[in-house]
């Protein structure tokens, strides 16, 4: 019985209300030739995808595609969210650094914090 290495697969997954689509195509080839096409925001994962394919498929020309439409929107939304929740280091003294919002990351806030520490220490002697 002859087995064909020609095939097509498509998977759709919804994550946080966003739909992601991955497609895989393969044709007969003597050796494994795996090509992965991901959006720029996911280029770091290309090698991991190739290794996953190599762990499952031994022969054929395989193309893996990821639609980038929704992914770029998700990343942009996450970056916007992180911008508002990110914390910045503020040095209070030689031994103390605290993490605060961008608005509080200034010398005036550091001085107010030093005064609160001094008041706390005086009240708890």
Q: Given pLDDT bands bounded at 50, 70 and 90, which one contains residue 71?
A: low
Convert the pLDDT of each residue in 75-118 to its tens digit: 666 667 767 777 888 888 887 888 888 888 899 999 999 998 88
Closest CA to 67 of 5, 124, 13, 4: 13
1, pLDDT greater than 50: no
User: Mean pLDDT, the chain, as a whole number?
Assistant: 82
**What is the C-alpha separation between 34 and 68, in angstroms, rounded?**
19
Residue 48, phi then psi, degrees to nearest 5: -65, -40
How many CA atoms lie within 13 Å of 58's alpha carbon, on the beta-carbon side?
A: 0
Q: Is 44 exposed, middle or buried (0-12, 13-18, 19+ CB in 10 A)?
A: exposed
17-36 average pLDDT score: 87
pTM exceeds 0.75, yes or no: no
Per DSSP, 90 falls in state E
Amino acid 69: pLDDT? 58
Q: What percent of the chain has pLDDT over 90?
A: 16
pLDDT tier at 34 (50, 70, 90 boundaries)? Answer: very high
Tokens standing for 39? 């959006």
Cα–Cα distance for residue pair 54/92, rounded to 1 Å: 52
């Amino acid at each position: 019985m002859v087995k064909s290495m020609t095939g097509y697969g498509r998977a759709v997954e919804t994550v946080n209300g966003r739909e992601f689509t991955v497609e895989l195509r393969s044709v007969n080839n003597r050796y494994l030739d795996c090509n992965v096409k991901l959006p720029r925001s996911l280029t770091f994962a290309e090698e991991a995808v190739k290794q996953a394919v190599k762990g499952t498929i031994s022969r054929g020309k395989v193309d893996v595609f990821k639609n980038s439409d929704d992914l770029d929107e998700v990343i942009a939304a996450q970056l916007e969210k992180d911008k508002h929740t990110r914390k910045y280091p503020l040095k209070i003294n030689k031994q103390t650094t605290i993490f605060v919002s961008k608005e509080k990351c200034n010398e005036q806030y550091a001085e107010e914090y030093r005064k609160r520490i001094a008041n706390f220490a005086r009240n708890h002697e």
